[in-house]
Structure 1
Amino acid sequence: METKKKILVLCGGEFAFKSIHALGYEKYLCGIGIGKGDPFYVEGLEKECINNEIPFKSFPTKTSVKRMLEWLNEVQPDHIFSIAFPYLIPQEVLNYGTEKFINFHTGPLPRYRGAMPIFEVLKNQEKNTAICAHFMNQAFDQGNVIFNDQIQIAKNETFGSLATKMNNRMGQIVINVAHMLDYASKIPSTVQDETEACYYEKPTLSDTFIHWNTMNASEIIALINACNPWNTGAEAIVLGEQIKIIAAEKIEELHNELNEGTILPISEHNLIKISCADNEIIAVKILSCSEGIMTAENYIKLKKLDTLICASL
């Protein structure tokens, strides 16, 4: 019986767990390294590794990653899989071996480089995304692409639902790559087309804020979904208060050129209707404010919005 490739996984936490389980079940897993993450997951993963006699190493800082080569030389993996590992691997560690490091990026490359491609594809209203397997080099998300595994984005997909979908798919993708490494003498790959490349920094407050006077209803809904649940919704100003809109829908009526960001008469379904750019309207269903997370109906009662005919935000 042929010996399977020894694969070590570098991860950032929970997102990689199904892949780790799949590699362990298929007898590929030879070690796990975790970057800075929730102590609950770090401690839990370390305990599981000890119980199953799997080498484990924590890399809590960027500086600690520089000492990774010593550990790799000790474990001697054939390949290293990176799944949501938070730090750039320095060249002195990559020198462990040519085409030994493979990253699994949660967005199509080269168009969606960066830390949170799930947020970006939803905000940009893409119809499809991908999990991209690529060889790693000394720059984030720039190594040669092995393949982009396309994933369809459903209507009204949220960050949470898409992340879950990709997490479930990731386990099969890492096994597919492991099989390729087992049976192919060389893994084909292609150089990324830099003319199509775009790098997105991690979203800041300005990236998650609704601008009523410039964004139409579809853009606002896309942003709200892209912020749910990791940011607890999209930031907005309503009646002078900063809130987060968690769920909303575009409704098929026009606001007859009212100022953008105006609260319209409350709907019969107790939803908060707000005017947007391009004469469009959204209906807010769930939001978060200083009093807590609540339905639009409860917010209407709390702020007595049912007494308003129209009100500027």
Structure 2
Amino acid sequence: METQKKILVLCGGKFAFPALQLLAFENFMCGIGIGGASETIVDALERESEDNNLGFKSFPDKNSISELRQWIDGLKPDYIFCISFPYLIPETVLSYGEQKFINFHPGPLPQYRGAMPIFEVLKNQETETAICTHFMNSEFDKGNIIFNDPVPVEAEDTYGKLTVKLSNRMAHVALNMANMLQFASSIPNQPQDERLSCYFEKPRLSDTYINWNRMNAEEIIALINACNPWNAGADATLQGEQVKIIAAELLDEPHDQMAGTIVSAIDSVQIACVDNQQIAVSILSTDYGIMTASQYITLHPEKAGIFN
């Protein structure tokens, strides 16, 4: 019987947990490396690794990557899987073996390169995303693609919901890849089409801010969903007040107000949009804290009713 392939997993936190559990259950894993995670996550993974006789190492910052090659040489894995590992792996480490390093990117490649494809996919109102499995090289998200596994994006998906969906799907994609490596003599792959490539930097305030005069209602809802919960909502100015809008829905009602104006604040905070639509805000964050629309209205009775 052929010896089970040994896989070392490099990850960045909770997103990889379902994949770690499934690969460990199927006896594929020989070690876990965690990069840039909180002490709570590091301690939990270290205990689990000890209980399951797995190698474990934490890489708290970029400088600690200098220790990665020696650790890999000691464990001698057949393959190294990367799931949201935050650091670029240098050639000195990749030279451990050709086509030994495989990354699982939570977005379709080459269209959604970068650290937060989940945010960009939602902001751009995509109806489908993917988990892209690809061989790694010395540049982020540019190695040859093995396959893109499609994942539908539902209208109600927020950053949090889509992250959980992708995390759970990632576990099965990683297991399928492990089984493929177990039985295949070679893995088909193809270079990325650079004509389709786009790299997204980590979002800044300008990317998370609602521009009432330029964004239509659907774009605003998409941005709100893309910012929930990682940014604690989409940033906005609401009648002179800085807020974060956490949850809202499209309200198909015309208005005669300026974009960004509160049209009504009775059951929800209804805000005029530039395309003559409205959004109905149900949860938002202010200097007072996170609150429902009704709590916001109670704190701001002067904003209740119709604004002229």
Q: Percent identity?
A: 56
CA distance, structure 1, for counterparts of residue 91 and residue 17 of structure 2: 27
Distance 1:189 1:130 in 2: 17
Q: Secondary structure at the match of 2:133?
A: strand
Structural mapping, 1:40-59, within 5 Å: 40-59=40-59
- Aligned ranges 1:1-313 → 2 under 5 Å: 1-256=1-256, 258-267=257-266, 270-307=267-304, 309-310=306-307
1:156 Cα deviation (Å)?
Answer: 1.7
CA displacement, residues 202-236 of structure 1 (integer Å, 9 cap, x when unaligned)? 11111100000000000000000000011111001
Distance of 2:60 and 2:148 partners within structure 1: 30
**Contact 2:233-2:246 at 8 Å conserved across structures:** yes
2:275 partner SS:
helix
Please state how far the C-alpha of 1:67 moved relative to its aligned partner.
Answer: 2.0
- Cα offsets for 1:38-88 (capped at 9, x unmatched): 110001101111222211111111111122111111000000000010000
Could you tell me which amino acid in structure 2 is paired with residue 206 of structure 1? S
Give how far 1:305 is off: 3.9
How high is the TM-score relative to the length of structure 2?
A: 0.98
**Structure 2: distance between partners of 1:278 and 1:14:** 39
In structure 2, C-alpha distance between the alignment counterparts of 1:84 and 1:309, rounded to whole Å: 47
Unaligned runs of at least 5 residues, structure 1? none
Query: Alpha-carbon deviation of 1:280?
Result: 1.6
Q: Could you state the TM-score of these two structures normalised by the residue count of structure 1?
A: 0.96
- Say how many residue pairs are matched: 308
Cα distance in 1 between the residues matched to 2:11 and 2:183 = 25
Q: Secondary structure at the match of 2:111?
A: coil
Runs of 5+ consecutive residues of structure 2 not aligned to the other structure? none
- Cα deviation 1:254-288 (Å, max 9, x = unaligned): 113x2211111335xx1111111122211111101
Question: Whole-Å Cα distance in 1 between the matches of residues 18 and 301 of structure 2?
Answer: 47
Distance 1:144 1:261, change over 3 A: same
Q: Would the aligned equivalents of 2:102 and 2:134 in 1 still touch at CA under 8 Å?
A: yes
**Contact 2:128–2:152 (CA<8 Å) still a contact in 1?**
yes
Find the aligned partners of 2:250 and 2:21 in 1 and give their Cα distance: 40
Distance 1:238 1:83 in 2: 39
Aligned counterparts of 2:201 and 2:281: Cα–Cα separation in 1: 28
> Is the 1:66–1:90 Cα contact (8 Å) retained in structure 2?
no
- Which amino acid in the other structure matches residue 201 of structure 1? E
Distance 1:265 1:13, change over 3 A: closer
> Using the alignment, how far apart are the partners of 1:204 and 1:293 within structure 2?
22
Deviations 1:87-122 (A, max 9, x none): 000111000000000000000000000000000000
CA deviation after TM superposition for structure 1 residue 292, in Å = 1.1
SS at match of 2:182: helix
Gap change, CA 1:275 and 1:5, over 3 Å in 2: same
Aligned mates of 1:13, 1:65 — CA distance in 2: 17
Q: SS of 2:170's equivalent?
A: helix
